[in-house]
Amino acid sequence: MNVGVLGIGITKFGERWDQGLRELLLDAQVKSIKDANIEAKDIDALYTGNMGGGALSGQLHIGAMATENLNINKPSSRVEGACASGSLALRAGILAIESGEADIVQVNGVEKMTDVSTEQVTTMLMGAGDEELEGFNGLTFPGLYALLANAYMSKYPKLTRDLLAEVSVKNHFHGARNDYCQFRKEINIDVVKNATMVADPLTLFDCSPITDGAASIILASEAKAKELGSKVSIIGSGMGTDSLSLARRNTLTAIPAGKIAADAAYASAGIKASEVNFAEVHDCFTIAEIMAVEALGFAKEGEGYKLYKNKDTYFDGKIPINTSGGLKACGHPVGATGVKQAVEATMQLRGEAKGRQVKDAEIGVTHNVGGSGASAAVHVFKRVK
């Protein structure tokens, strides 16, 4: 697989009361087109990741919105896969190019979440879980991930509360150095541990926030990418699935869909985990990042804590994780997150991540999860020499 990245665009993440769903999407779209040095008419197809448009904004049919924004009449679809919507849109764009259906594709992700109550957002997000087994019984996603955290820390007690908090501390450290991040402030372990309890053991600072934002990326076929001077390629893509509910999972101490996706992505890229220089992973909650680094093969199950104990996951460490600030600090506009990860990977490989640049980065990975692990997508990015 060799799909070029021509351009990227991203909005500021946060409480964006100055822009609606359409404006956020348009902002990111225009930026990616400009960065790619192409015109809108050059795009052959569009895919836009979005989860909550209908529930939160009353707006579905976002594929048509994306083409209307650009005044073009090209094939355009909305892609929904819960919090993995952005990465699944990216995967759809890659497959369109790999199949020969398109030479240039725009992939977007967008979410507008802050104009409604927290209760409405919580209800919408629970659509990513099992409505009958979990939602009807009062579970929320903090509750689901708290169950995973308790199961994991019971089986693997070397992951202490302080080391779990270190995930958030590190992501805020990176976020403080990222212009498009929602929270640009460093914190310490005590701030995480002493914050308001959400679902034991997870406090407010273990949880990703409610966020508005959009991101966009322009993909091209190998030939077109070479012609237009692409500096980054996507060389691997994989997807995995599992049960909607935790009750039907075979394990509560890992997210198998993430490992399935990683193994498939590594196989298609022809690489091993040891060759990866950095990763953007799905840290919707701090425990999710621990499980992600293990799914990606950076540590064995139960040993992910070592990376945080040794501070190996900072941008200048052995395996930098979430140099964007992750979902925790950068924000989590759910449909946009997977595309945001791709934007950050591209910035790193182009040497544009000022203040958090991974030295001599050649291969990066993005890891995006839907729900509590019912779906996952992993992509491998490589710098073009």
DSSP E strand stretches across the chain: 3-10, 45-49, 76-79, 104-111, 197-199, 202-203, 213-220, 232-241, 278-280, 363-370, 375-383
Instruction: Determine the Cα–Cα distance for residues 325 and 182; give it in Å rounded to an integer.
Output: 9
Cα→Cα distances 235→268, 289, 351, 383, Å: 7, 23, 19, 10
Q: Active-site residue numbers?
A: 83, 332
Q: How many helices (H) and strands (E) does the chain have?
A: 13, 11
Instruction: Determine the Cα–Cα distance for residues 361 and 355; give it in Å rounded to an integer.
Output: 14
- Encode 14-38: b = buried (16+ Cβ within 10 Å), e = exposed: bebeebebbbbbbbbbebbbebbeb
